[in-house]
Amino acid sequence: MTERRGLFITVEGGEGVGKTTNLAFIADQLRCNGVAFVQTREPGGTPLAEQIRALLLDTRSEPVAPMAELLLVFAARAQHLQQVVQPALEAGKWVLCDRFTDATYAYQGGGRQLNQGAIGELEQLVQGSFRPDLTLLLDLPVAAGLERAGARGELDRFEQEQLAFFERVRAVYLDRARRFPRQFRVIDASGPLSQVQANIEHVLARVLGEAGARS
């Protein structure tokens, strides 16, 4: 991976934590502060990667082998990095991304119980040393998140998983936040939206201040 100048911010969390709602808020904050940025998502972000996303989320009668799922996630990521993320960062833009490799550790490692070492090897192969500069982890007890998400209607292939799957997803996210404190900021997503967004604003103000001081 080549040198980058913009910041790479990812937003993570389990079901119903409010990612979509808060991504719009974060994008507004960046806009108000005059930051040039690209908003994107994983899996997806390019036409090919969006096709892989559809393969991953569609419910189907054929069971999907966890290893096939893992490889599809990284195939989409390789395409997304080359086509969207790296060019934007190299052009000095920031990238705001809905999920990234921490989701792979959480869903394929935690949820599907695939070996974390195998995920690490693929991470190294696809990304080298490339990691997010900042990850906002929206955290919420699983039952509360599923209740919020349940109000949305039809469930995709991941949303149809059981409680224990999502408990493992949350545990891996929180474990990674503890292990990588420079990358992660954990946002308590259980309170009212105004409170969640005040916390996000506080974190972003620091990041924007530090980025301003560097430029």
Give min distance, CB of 166 to ligand Z5A, in A: 9
Give min distance, CB of 16 to ligand Z5A, in A: 4
Nearer to ligand Z5A, 1 or 149 (CB): 149
Nearer to ligand Z5A, 77 or 93 (CB): 77
Chain mean position to CA 12: 4
In eight-state DSSP terms, residue 65 is P
Site for ligand Z5A in 72-101 (CB under 6 A): 73, 98-99
Residue nearest to ligand Z5A (CB): 18
Give min distance, CB of 129 to ligand Z5A, in A: 19
Q: Which of 21, 33, 39, 46 binds ligand Z5A (CB under 6 A)?
A: 21
Mark out the alpha helices in 81-115 (DSSP H runs).
86-90, 101-103
Site for ligand Z5A in 149-168 (CB under 6 A): 149, 151, 156, 158-159
Q: Which of 4, 10, 30, 43 binds ligand Z5A (CB under 6 A)?
A: 43
Nearer to ligand Z5A, 83 or 211 (CB): 83
Rounded distance, CA 80 to CA 82, Å?
Answer: 6
Q: Residue 211 burial (CB < 10 Å; 0-12/13-18/19+)?
A: middle
Is the Cα dihedral 13, 23, 122, 128 positive or negative? Answer: negative
Cβ atoms of 90 and 2 within 8 Å: the answer is yes
Q: Is 15 in the site for ligand Z5A (CB under 6 A)?
A: yes
Question: Which stretch in 60-68, 116-124, 145-153, 173-181 sits in contact with ligand Z5A by CB under 6 A?
Answer: 145-153
The two tokens of residue 141 are 């007890």
Rounded distance, CA 85 to CA 96, Å?
Answer: 9
Cβ atoms of 103 and 134 within 8 Å: the answer is no
Cβ atoms of 164 and 35 within 8 Å: the answer is no
Residues binding ligand Z5A (CB under 6 A) = 13, 15-21, 42-43, 73, 98-99, 103-104, 107-108, 148-149, 151, 156, 158-159, 189, 192-193, 196
